[in-house]
Amino acid sequence: MHAAVVADGAVEWQARPDPVPGAHEILVRVDAAGLNAADLLQRAGHYPPPPGAPADIPGLECAGTVVGLGPGVERFTIGDRVMGLLGGGGQAELAVLHERVALAVPTSVSTDAAGAFCEVFATAYDALFTQGHLCSGERLLVNGGAGGVGVAAVQLARATGASVVASVRDAAKRASVAELGAVVVAPDATHELAPYDVVLELVGAPNLATNLADLETGGRVIVIGTGAGRTAELDLGIVMARRATIRG
């Protein structure tokens, strides 16, 4: 097979051995693969892949057709259209996925869309529900609502019955986020619509103080983005007053 290979900060199309699926793994002929921040960091030498993943082939998600089965696979068969997550190696002609992190692609979903679905929606789902325990009827603030995870979070929250406020810095992108069901504001206007039961923080440290101040009692701040900064002062008095939870 051929793959996109990171070499000295560049990406080259190189021949590599075909991967072999192990127990409960499927071999996928890749038709589309998402491009995520980790891929760019890997190219720059700042993202070491997890153990077992190819050291120099990026790609955390892909979609395609099952062309091989490892021992014990039960959920898929040859010819199935699938999409899924992997620790690396998705940006290649062939990739191996464990069947538990693969999904059948609905007939209504294009291969290109499927190739960029799993990473952002799985990340948003984990943040909102596994960590944030977001429920129907609650109010969610998404700081950074126009990015991939932000867009996914807005849709998941609305489907759950939560109301959503999304902060979007780029005015040109606000209308498209609003079409997904969010009330969209500039980053400096989120306080006007507080309080919030859950804040999904995709920007970073500069928002922490405002996030805490704008929480409903028992509110939760979920931090999964630190592009604007990783270090912030924490007012423990507000944490106690709001009975707040901060997770990430």
Domain range list for the chain:
2-116, 120-247
Q: Tokens for 139?
A: 């109010």
Dump pLDDT digits (tens) for 110-138.
Answer: 999 999 999 999 999 999 999 999 999 99
Going through 151-214 in order, the beta strands assigned E by DSSP cover 163-167, 183-185, 196-201
Predicted pLDDT at 95: 99
Rg (CA), the chain: 20
Predicted pLDDT at 208: 97
Dump pLDDT digits (tens) for 20-40.
Answer: 999 999 999 999 999 999 999
Mean pLDDT, the chain, rounded, equals 98
Closest CA to 104 of 116, 114, 113, 89: 114
Query: In 3-state terms, what secondary structure has residue 201?
Result: strand
- CB-facing half-sphere around the CA of 24: CA atoms within 13 A: 5
pLDDT band of residue 11 (cuts 50, 70, 90) is very high
What percent of the chain stands above pLDDT 70? 100
- Which residue bears the tokens 């991939």? 148
Instruction: For residues 229 and 131, give the distance between their C-alpha atoms in angstroms, rounded to a whole number.
Output: 21
Q: What is the pTM of this model?
A: 0.93
Predicted pLDDT at 32: 99
For residue 195, say if its preceding peptide bond is cis, omega within 30 degrees of 0.
yes
Predicted pLDDT at 22: 98
Instruction: For residues 62 and 118, give the distance between their C-alpha atoms in angstroms, rounded to a whole number.
Output: 8
Dump pLDDT digits (tens) for 74-107.
Answer: 999 999 999 999 999 999 999 999 999 999 999 9
Predicted pLDDT at 128: 99
Please check whether the two domains, 2-116 and 120-247, share a CATH topology: yes
Going through the chain in order, the beta strands assigned E by DSSP cover 2-7, 10-15, 25-33, 61-69, 81-85, 94-98, 102-104, 139-143, 163-167, 183-185, 196-201, 215-223, 245-247
CATH number given to 120-247? 3.90.180.10
Dump pLDDT digits (tens) for 151-180.
Answer: 999 999 999 999 999 999 999 999 999 999
Q: Tokens for 241?
A: 């007053």
Instruction: For residues 13 and 227, give the distance between their C-alpha atoms in angstroms, rounded to a whole number.
Output: 30
* Overall CATH class of domain 2-116: alpha beta
pLDDT band of residue 71 (cuts 50, 70, 90) is very high
The widest CA-to-CA distance across the chain, in whole angstroms, is 59
Contact by Cβ (8 Å): 167, 190:
yes
